[in-house]
Structure 1
Amino acid sequence: GRTAGSQAGPAVLSCRVAFRGCSSPSAGPCICPCLEFDLATNLVGQPLVRQQVMKGVREFLENPNPVKPLVMSFHGSTGTGKTYVSSMLIRYLFQRGLQSPYVHHFSPIVHFPHAEQIEQYKESLKHWIQGNLTNCGRSAFLFDEMDKMHPGLIDVIIPFLGPSWVVYGTNYRKAIFIFISNAGGEQINNVTLALWRARKDREEISLQDLEPAISKAVFENPQSGFWKSGIINEHLIDFVVPFLPLKHHHVKQCVVSELVQQGLEVRPGVVQEVADSIPYFPEEEKLFSSTGCKTVASRISFFF
């Protein structure tokens, strides 16, 4: 007969192999230094993001028995690096990265398009998360465009985010949830601009400078997926991660990276022209890129 231990089955075993975390010394070299180096080298102009993400990931991975899942919420305007950072994180944590069977990606437009079917969506989302966490406690769930999520829908996952949820003998505290949202981007930009005018450089901006503005924009907005959400009221988000607007020299760094990636010659004239072709705000000072680095790749072909 089979012993209780042999019931783990191939899914759970491959789940353990697929996750590259460093929760025990036997798990091999920790991913943290490599991830930190990659963020420092390739994520342009977001010291606050690097600090918050590394703090969250390091604390979570180094604890063999976390009290709750790691829950992070990324906020900022288009092109500031939210998707880039979440993909990088997943690439380091899971073999096969975003293609891993233990990484689940939700988009409201694709997965939850019709407001009138919200009850059905709630049911499916709950079962999907429960089923996948039973299969592999070390799973990651990415929720894109939270600003377009129907209010109320996301609350069905509350039981999976807290410290006490154990079902079918499976502990869900080792999962990772990442929420990504443009909501709060405008407020982050306004605060950054106001601080710049008050002679405070964007590199000196702290989380405390931004948190009140993000909370107001994201959690008190009836159009937001987090509106009146228990996720907020029960303080289930561990790290709110603000992405600041990018300046002209940051965009130039993105242009250089993109040229290298496309195998093209890095010509200073081209770098300057591409960076100059992007719209900046506010109208008079033209300090920050309106689209971050989002359109850099598509613009390069115009200058070659």
Structure 2
Amino acid sequence: MDRKVEGTSSDGNNMNEGMLVEMGKECQIWGRRGGLGHWWPELARSCHGPGSSCCWSGTAAEFGLTWARLLCFLGLLGLVSATWNLASLRCGFSAFCKCDFLPDLRGLECDLAQHLAGQHPVKQLVMKGLKAFVENPALAKPLVMSFHGWTDTGSSMLVQYLFQGRMASPHVHHFSPVIHSPHADQLEHYQSDLKQWILGNLTACGHFLFLFDEVDKMHPGLLGVLRPFLGPSWVVYGTNYQKAIFIFLSNAGREQINQLALDAWHACKDEEELQLQDLDPAISKAIVNNPQHGFWQSAIVEDRLLDFLVPLLPLQHHHVRHCVTNELAKLGLAQQQEEEVVRAVLDRTAFFPEKERLFSSNGCKTVASRITFFL
């Protein structure tokens, strides 16, 4: 005859097999909801089947019921994690800000090498800065990069390799002086709005990218409110601003960069031979000495808060050709037709200086739109 399993509950009553069966039923219900109905009944039966030696005291019985429920929950959680994976579960509940920041540095490096023509400083400085930023577990300050020259030349390509939502990501913000600060007589109002805008975003999430376009057209003094967010020695309470990325785009320094590139050509040197130590001083001087620039009297340059000054070089004929072939490759044109379109685009591209006709006046900015006229 099967031995009856008995125990004493906390109120002195006997705990018989019925209570254990109820435990098994409850666990089975949980398991079925998670697709685990085949396993949980075995757990229940193992504790009350024939010859079982599960004889619990009253306190142990209550504990056993709680423990069974806990095991059921953990099993269900295991199924969920196996189905969605833990990263998806974490992203879905509370850490979208971290999950949206998915830097693909290898993909960025490949894209820069393949599609960004004539910009070796960009490839060198951007990859150096991003690798150090992403791989550093204890950041002291945000990453701050300022691009100067032909601001259409690959300066925003990196965004799509940093955030899952790319430019549409809620953690990527684009600031334009034409849209956000058009009136010079409202400078104090713009300063207050900009500060609160940055503070509010960084309070919600540390992984933000702020893209400031046409800095050379911003009202002088506006960007001074950013100074506390850019350095390593300030504490901005309630924020984790060290994880942010600030990118500034500006035409300031373009004339100086163009002149250095022209001098290199006259000296029979390739643009790739231009050294950063020659370009940096020229750009810094163009910014600091320009009272109409957005960095004017902001102390951002003087306090060395810009981690990288990235010069964007003027593009020569072979660079524009590279841009055209890249666009045509997306269309899958035959090689003969491709060459005809390349020649047509180059013939209608303005180059400077007038005598040498060496550099494209618009970089690769209008290449995509021009191609459609010759297809």
- TM, length-normalised to structure 1: 0.89
Structure 1 residues 110-259: aligned runs within 5 Å: 110-259=179-328
Mapped partners of 1:11, 1:105: distance in 2? 27
**Matched residue, 2:175:** 106
Q: Which runs of 5+ in 2 are unaligned?
A: 1-89
Going from structure 1 to structure 2, the CA distance change for 1:78 and 1:103 (only over 3 Å counts) comes to closer
The 10-residue stretch of structure 1 (69-78 or 148-157) with the greater mean CA deviation from structure 2: 69-78
Mapped partners of 2:265, 2:329: distance in 1? 32
Q: Does 1:72 align with 2:137?
A: no
**Matched residue, 1:15:** 97
Q: 2:106 aligns with which of 26, 33, 55?
A: 33
Question: Aligned AA for 2:282?
Answer: A
Q: Which has the larger radius of gyration?
A: 2
**Matched residue, 1:3:** none
Partner of 1:177, secondary structure, is strand
Going from structure 1 to structure 2, the CA distance change for 1:101 and 1:78 (only over 3 Å counts) comes to closer
Deviation, 1:201, is 1.4
Deviation, 1:171, is 2.4
- Paired residues in the alignment total 284
Deviation, 1:302, is 2.3
- Confirm or deny: 8 A CA contact 2:220 2:296 kept in the other structure: yes
Q: Which has the higher contact order (CA 8 A, sep 6+)?
A: 1
Partner of 2:247, secondary structure, is strand
Partner of 1:180, secondary structure, is strand
Q: How big is the alpha-carbon RMSD for the aligned residues of Structure 1 and Structure 2?
A: 1.8
Q: Deviations over 1:188-237 (max 9, x none)?
A: 00111012112221111111111122112222101111123210111100
Q: Deviations over 1:25-74 (max 9, x none)?
A: xxxxxx22221111111111111110000000001111011110000000
Moved over 4 A (4+): 8-12, 262-266
Q: 2:125 aligns with which of 52, 57, 60?
A: 52
Q: Deviations over 1:263-301 (max 9, x none)?
A: 544521211121121011111221111111111122112
**Matched residue, 1:24:** none
**Matched residue, 2:345:** 274
Mapped partners of 2:94, 2:369: distance in 1? 42
Mapped partners of 1:130, 1:148: distance in 2? 23
The 10-residue stretch of structure 1 (159-168 or 239-248) with the greater mean CA deviation from structure 2: 159-168
Deviation, 1:239, is 0.3
Mapped partners of 1:11, 1:244: distance in 2? 45
Amino-acid identity (%): 60
**Matched residue, 1:27:** none
Q: Does 1:296 align with 2:367?
A: yes
Mapped partners of 1:37, 1:258: distance in 2? 17
Mapped partners of 2:238, 2:372: distance in 1? 55
- Confirm or deny: 8 A CA contact 1:220 1:228 kept in the other structure: no
- Confirm or deny: 8 A CA contact 1:150 1:224 kept in the other structure: yes
